Structure 1
Amino acid sequence: MKSMFYPKLAWMGIRKNSRLYIPYILASMGMVMMYYIVAFLNTSSALQSVPGGEVMQSMLGFGMYVIAAFSLLFLFYTNSFLNRRRKKEFGLYNILGMGKWNLAKILVSESVMSAVISMGGGLLAGITFSKFAELGMVNLLMGEAKFSFSLGAEAILETLKWFSIIFLVILLQTLWQIRGESAMELLHSENAGEKPPKANWLLALTGLVILAAAYYLAVSIENPIEALLWFFVAVIMVIVATYLLFIAGSVTICRILQKNKSYYYKTRHFVSISSMIYRMKRNGAGLASICILCTMVLVMLSGTVCLYAGTEDSLRNRYPRNIMIDASFRSMEAMESGVMDRVREAAGQAVSAEGDGTLITENVLDYPLVDFSCIMAEGQFRTHDENASAFQMSDYADAWQIFLVPLEDYNRMMDQKEALAPGEVLIYTTKRDYEKDTITVNDGEAMRIKKVVPEFVQNGVDAEQIIPTMFIFVPDLAEAARPLEGLVNEWGNPVMGFRWNYGFDLDCGDEMQMRILDRAQAALEHEMMRMKADQDALDGTEETSPFLAYSRCAAKERATFYGLYGSLFFLGILLGVVFVFAAVLIIYYKQISEGYEDQARFEIMQKVGMTETDIRRSVNSQVLTVFFLPLIMAGIHLAFAFPMVHKLLLLFSLTNLKLLLIVTVCCYLVFAVFYMMVYRITSRGYYHIVSMWAEKK
């Protein structure tokens, strides 16, 4: 045989099966394009030079692995549709005299052609759109972008390497399947396995129980740390339950409909139900895959869109004032030495110097506190001192950050007139509620909770940590802290710390705020050096200063926040598009493969009197019976996942529940419209296939 015989045969096979190959190649090109764009952005010098760009590129590096792994699984899955349709053709070749080695040459030629077209077209599209993606990323970071075309040689090589491996793995799996089947098995492969799965009720009940357990986890967890620990467990449970319910439950539904004589014995329902019930194992798996992909898209988009839209809210939670000063002291005596007055004066001088005396500080935040971390165990808080066992990972579900704050500062900051009797306290909690009536620390005296106050001025510390915080407002700070004096942890550091939070807002631009920050930081460093010198002269030691402080500015950190949330938003959009590609292609192949399988059945039914109108009604009945189940189920999954997603977003300092609700509902509605458009297109393709025999007459 001539050397070009097998490539010609392969190309002819691709052309004859263009209805199957073109969507597969287009999806492969889309995967290659997405991977190249992310790889290009990960090495982009323009992105690296923008503030926050390094943070964004570190997140994009993670996105590269996600897209590569998903591309392998998805293309491996969709290639099975191609194999199923082509096996009959290969069986015919086998009967006509071609051996398995000859078939392997055809498959290798087809695989090389598909890979070359996919990688070539994908890289061309990726190179074309990569600059637009770069400009979009720079805009997300609020930077200035310049339009200059460039090629990412490193990204091209990385893309070619990974997708060559992916196509090679797919080819090897196809060759292995052909090797193990006889000519007759290949010829009848389309009809193999058309038996309803056994033990449907047992599988359906198992899936229902697992899904109920996953839903219970999602809605019952109150602690954001527990939500983080259990999130992936709940995701796996939902995936397993979805497959069980769609595979077994769909068969059960078909059988129930079959027993309903008034529904089943109608022209538009009879053929669709009787044909679906014998292939529901594959049909259910496809529907479950669509449902899981839809849920992933919705959860990902709603979370990342909400994060990016709420960036300023998160920034404000992390930095409650434009200028923040956090100070720590070695002891209560150092805190009461007058240093706080000197820092206030120095901060005021920095504002006056930069603002020419016209700027004034607003919304001043000013209060001292004592802080310590502890674990809720056996009904009381226990600190991690040198005599306690080391914290385990499971302990962090019960971990708390405690702030002791003077009652007078609470009344001053919140404009209240609360009073406390001996042994009484007020509390305010974040991220989770505290349901007991008393508070006990390390077997000490119980403090009775007089009231849980609705709000307090945050200091930014709670927003940067994942454990919940409890503010305890006490009549006397020194007296409340005395039981913890002298306690040290396993590293020899004091269990509790003495701190002071000071901050204020300014009515000026970001650049002036950063200049004021630099002046304030210089004043803080001068004060720390002065106090260290006084301490050294007093006791002759060379220890660190009894006062340590640093200043922070929201304007200076804004780029980092937009880098993190912007990259998550971009990855959410990009991966959402990838998952949508996957869902659409699975829907398309599901409709096309079932169309070919049902073609003969509809031909027989039309010969015995079924009209073209009846066929169209039957097609709509079949598609509507199962097609919208994934969308409805994805909506239910999303609704139950909402509380857990909200808890996880709290870890990113996003507390705007209303924003998350609006974004989630909008994402679902937009996706539902898109889903219905796909339904309309694929149902027409299905109808065209099942009625092709009539068109040939």
Structure 2
Amino acid sequence: MKRGFYLKLAWSGIRKNRRLYTPYLLTCVGMVMMFYVVSFLSECPVLEEMRGGMTLQSMLSFGSWVIGAFALIFLFYTNSFLIRRRKKEFGLYNILGMGKGNLARILLWESLIVAGIALIAGLFFGILLSKLAELGMVNLVNGDITFSLSLGPDAILRTLLLFAVIFLLLLLNALRQIHLTNPIELIHSENAGERPPKANWFLALAGIVILGAAYFIAVTIEDPVEALVWFFAAVIMVIVSTYLIFVSGSVAICRVLQKNKKYYYKTNHFVSVSSMVYRMKRNGAGLASICILYTMVLVMLSTTVCLYLGTEDSLRTRYPRNFTVEALVSDLDTLRNSDKPEAIIKLSEQAVQDHHQVMKNVLNYRCASSVGYWEQDTLRIGEEEFYNSGNDVSEMWYLNVVPIEDYNRLTQSNEVLKPGEAIAYSTAQDFSRDTIMMENTGPVKIKKATTNFSDFNMSPGMTNPSLYLFVPDYEEFLIPLLQLTDSYGNSRFSLFWHYGFDMDCDDETQIMVDAEIQEKISELPPNDTESYFAIMTESIAANRTEFYINNGGLFFLGLLLGIVFLFAAVLIMYYKQISEGYEDQSRFGIMQKVGMTKKEIRKSINSQVLTVFFLPLIAAGLHLTFAFPMISKLLVLFGLTNTKLLILVTVLCYLVFALFYILVYRITSKAYYSIVSGAKEEN
């Protein structure tokens, strides 16, 4: 044959089927571009030199391979639409004398053309956008911005290798399908519809039960750690149940609509419902895929956007003061007689004055801490005892005992307590006990429950409830409790001294004050060999960069993955409409010949589309609503407790994507109508 013959046939096939190939090529280019950009950032020297850059790059490296794995799965999915549409053309070539070896050459050239366009255009736009992505990433994490354009040779090589393998696998899959099909089957493959499936009520009911169980898990879990453990199980249950409900349930709905004579025997409903029944398995699977992808996008964006916008809230939750000192003390004598608290207060005041700053919201109190669990009115003490009790993690409480004089000084109160009395402060809203029993102590009568200690709680980010008891005769109260030991002979209580303060100044000044205080603390004389006063210092300014690195990295990665999944959902919607349009073209052609007008065709199309098309959007909203309690618990692990922000971001994300979904619906429904009505002829 003439040189270049197969290349011309391949190019002609792509050009004549541009309605199918254009979005496919754009998706391939987008996947290549996204993979290169994330791979480039995962080894970018600018990010590597930043504080916390290694963590950020590890996060991005993981994200690049998520995009690569998704590209492999999704391109296989979309390529099946192309092969199904082209089989008739290949069958015709086969009957005209071309062997399957000749068809393989055409497929090879088509694969090379698609791969060439995707790799060249994808890398071109990826390289152009990589600097913009780098600047955006650095800006998100509050880093220093540079303006030098650079290439990532390793990222380019990884991109070429990965997508070369993907396109090779796509070619082999296409050759397999052509090889296993005879010419007659190829010609009639496009018209070979599915058999009308039976309504499988058992699978539909199973899907509803599994989905109900997933929803139950999501709304009943209280402990954030437990929520993290169950999250992936709940996700799998939702995915499985969504497919079962959309495939089996949609068939059942069509059968119910057919039995409803008032609905079914109407011009616009009869054609649409009868058409849907014959392809509902594939239709339901496509709708389920769209629903799951949209749910993934909404969950990722709502959580990562909320985390990023709530970074300052997370910082304040993790660090109640700009500067904090926490000292672990060996015993009551050391806590009582050590001169280190006074020395640390003086050197801190001096460091703040030297930088012309003023202390605000000063904290200074002693505390004995442990964990426990409730048995009616008795609070069992000890971490080892808790785990031996067999209770869930959500039932663990944090107990803190504070002198009443420290409470009065902090809150500017003048509370007086009798022996055996205490004032209680709890982070649990339903705390209402009048008396508390503990081992080695008599009953502790709760004189009143206070609410004005939240600003002084040094552990506000704890996922489990905390109980503060403010007691008179602090040492006398603690002596019997400190005698409680675990199986290793260690006391079940730990003694702490908490100190902290705020400053109204920039981060640079705070970091200098922090460094100076830490240097002076390190110069304090050591403890004697039998006691210890272990000091740990922290500041918001020193850790702000790390928080923005983590939250900004998650937001950036969530944004990129959201765009990728959104592309996938849109393309599934488009190909679903296009493939069904070609399948229904002959049916509507016959209906037009017997008198059906284009107005009636449009009504029938609207009936068909509206019957099922908005189900994924509604189901995604339902999934997101029931997932919200679990998501809010998971965000507590990141220090974010701002539920109002999460609700606002989640609702806004859903509304934006609902508008986007409607826009895509209008575009794809017009493409479907142009095919089935003959309003737009194929070139």
CA distance in 2, matches of 1:119, 1:446: 75
2: CA distance, partners of 1:490 / 1:577: 54
Match of residue 595 from structure 1: 581
* Residue 574 of structure 1, aligned match among 546, 560, 585: 560
Q: CA deviation at 1:683?
A: 0.8
Secondary structure at the aligned position of 2:23 is classed as helix
Q: Report the CA distance between 1:411 and its aligned residue.
A: 4.2
Amino acid at match of 2:242: T
**Are 2:218 and 2:234, in contact at CA under 8 Å, matched by a contact in 1?**
yes
Map of 1:176-215 to 2, 5 A cutoff? 176-192=176-192, 194-215=194-215
- How far did 1:192 drift? 4.1
Q: 1:318 to 1:92 in 2, by over 3 A?
A: same
Q: Which moved more, 1:39-48 or 1:570-579?
A: 39-48
User: After the TM superposition, which residues 309-320 of structure 1 pair with which residues of structure 2 at under 5 Å, given as runs?
Assistant: 309-320=309-320
CA contact (8 A) 1:298 1:667 kept: yes
* Partner in structure 2 of residue 34 of structure 1: 34
* Corresponding letter in the other structure for 1:96: L
The structure 1 residue matched to 2:590, chosen from 595, 598, 604, is 604
Which amino acid in structure 1 is aligned with residue 541 of structure 2? A
Counterpart AA for 2:638: F
Task: Say whether residues 1:508 and 2:505 are aligned partners.
Answer: yes
- Name the SS of the counterpart of 1:336 in structure 2: helix
SS of 2:190's equivalent in the other structure is: helix
CA distance in 2, matches of 1:683, 1:36: 33
Q: Which residue of 2 aligns with 1:614?
A: 600
Give 1:389 shift.
7.4
1:631 matches 2:631? no
Measure the CA separation in 2 of the matches of 1:474 and 1:459: 16
Query: Helix, strand or coil: the match of 1:143?
Result: coil
Query: Would you say 1:664 and 2:680 are equivalent positions?
Result: no
Q: Deviations over 1:626-656 (max 9, x none)?
A: 1111111111111111111111111111111
Match of 1:523 among 502, 520, 523: 520
Separation in structure 1 between the aligned mates of residue 190 and residue 447 of structure 2, nearest angstrom:
73
8 Å Cα contact 1:603-1:693 kept in structure 2: no
> 2:149 & 2:470 partners in 1: Cα distance?
60
Q: Give the one of 530, 533, 537 matched to 1:547.
A: 533
Letter in 1 for 2:678: M
* Separation of aligned partners in 2, 1:134 and 1:658: 31
TM-aligned CA deviation for residue 579 of structure 1: 0.9
Pick closer, same or farther for the CA change 1:437–1:247 going to 2, 3 Å.
farther
Structure 2: distance between partners of 1:98 and 1:491: 83
**Which stretch has the larger CA shift, 419-428 or 172-181?**
419-428
Aligned equivalent of 2:543, options 533, 553, 557: 557
Cα distance between partner residues in 1 of 2:216 and 2:434: 27
Counterpart of 2:617 in structure 1: which amino acid?
A: L
Q: Alignment RMSD, CA only?
A: 2.9
Offset at residue 336 of structure 1 (A): 1.2
- 1:625 offset after TM fit, Å? 1.4
What SS does structure 2 have at the residue aligned with 1:202? helix
Q: Is the 8 A contact 2:131 2:149 kept in 1?
A: yes
What is aligned with 1:107? 107
Residue 538 of structure 1 corresponds to: none
Distance 2:164 2:460 in 1: 44
- Contact 2:221/2:630 (8 A) holds in 1: yes
Partner of 2:47: 47
Q: How does 1:371-450 map to 2 (within 5 A)?
A: 371-374=369-372, 381=380, 383-385=382-384, 396-415=393-412, 425-430=422-427
Aligned position for 2:346: 345
SS of residue paired to 1:655: coil
The 3 A distance-change label for structure 1 pair 478 and 189 is farther
Matches within 5 A, 1:287-366: 287-337=287-337, 338-355=339-356, 359-366=357-364
Contact 1:52 1:141 in 2 (8 A): no
Per-residue CA shift, 1:131-156, capped at 9, x if unaligned?
A: 11111111112233122111111111
Cα separation, partners in 2 of 1:201 and 1:423, compared to 1, 3 Å: farther
Partners in 2 of 1:23 and 1:114 — Cα distance? 12
* Deviation sequence 1:246-300 (CA, Å, 0-9, x none): 1111122222222222222222222111101111110011001111111111111
Judged with a 3 Å threshold, the aligned counterparts in structure 2 of structure 1 residues 460 and 426 are, in CA distance, closer, same or farther, namely closer
Q: CA deviation at 1:217?
A: 1.2
Worse overlay, 46-55 or 484-493: 484-493
Structure-2 change in CA distance of 1:440 and 1:302 (3 Å): farther
Tell me the distance in 1 between the aligned counterparts of 2:19 and 2:680.
19
Task: Report % sequence identity.
Answer: 56
| TM, length-normalised to structure 2 | 0.92
Given residue 652 of structure 1, which amino acid in structure 2 is its aligned partner?
A: F
How far the C-alpha of 1:71 sits from its partner, in A, is: 1.2
Contact 1:267/1:614 (<8 A) preserved: yes
Q: Contact 1:258–1:273 at 8 Å: present in 2 too?
A: yes
CA distance 1:505–1:389, change in 2 (3 Å): closer
Residues 13-162 of structure 1: pairs in structure 2 closer than 5 A: 13-162=13-162
Q: Which amino acid aligns with 1:350?
A: A
1:112 positional shift: 2.2
Change in 2 beyond 3 A, CA 1:623/1:406 = same
Q: Which runs of 5+ in 1 are unaligned?
A: 536-540
- The question of whether the paired residues in 2 share the 8 Å contact of 1:55 and 1:560 is answered with no
CA distance in 1, matches of 2:201, 2:533: 69
